[in-house]
Amino acid sequence: MSKYLPIGADHAGFQLKATLINHLQSKGYEIEDFGCYSEDSIDYPDFGHPVASKVEENAGTLGILICGSGNGINMTANKHQGVRSALCWKTEIAQLAREHNNANIIAIPARFVSTEEAIEMVDMFLSTEFEGGRHERRVNKIACA
């Protein structure tokens, strides 16, 4: 798996994004930060689309998105045909998203998880491989095109 990670967040996820970037850089990841860069109110699609585009354009790349509930930025990412973004709030969800759904973006609800939970979820997401097999058939039916 690539050590390159695009990451983006809205204002509600700004602080958690900064913490995750430090954590991931300490593990040797090359981070591309698509913002936002403060807690000033912004529109989550402006930061979700660039991350989703990077993942869509670069096979094998995983991405991280963060907003208050995780929902808006997750919906934004999933508008991209090559993206399977998973809203995760527990480590087990992050693991299953990779194993069963071959998710390539984790969307985190900053207002509903602790920093420790977010770190654990991201670590699990990045270290878990897609199982393939019966799941491959199902994943291949997700796209509309």
The dihedral region occupied by 132, where left means phi > 0, alpha psi between -120 and 50, and beta the remainder, is left
Q: Is 100 a catalytic residue?
A: yes
Active site residue 36: no
Q: Give the Cα separation of 88 and 86 in Å (integer).
A: 6
Active-site annotation holder among 11, 36, 49, 67: 67
CA distances from residue 97 to 46, 55, 119 in whole angstroms, order as listed: 24, 16, 16
Residue 70 backbone zone (phi > 0: left; psi -120 to 50: alpha; other: beta): left
Contacts with 48 (C-beta within 8 Å, 6 or more apart), sequence order: 8, 65, 67, 72, 73, 76, 77
Q: Give the residue numbers annotated as catalytic, written as ranges.
A: 67, 100
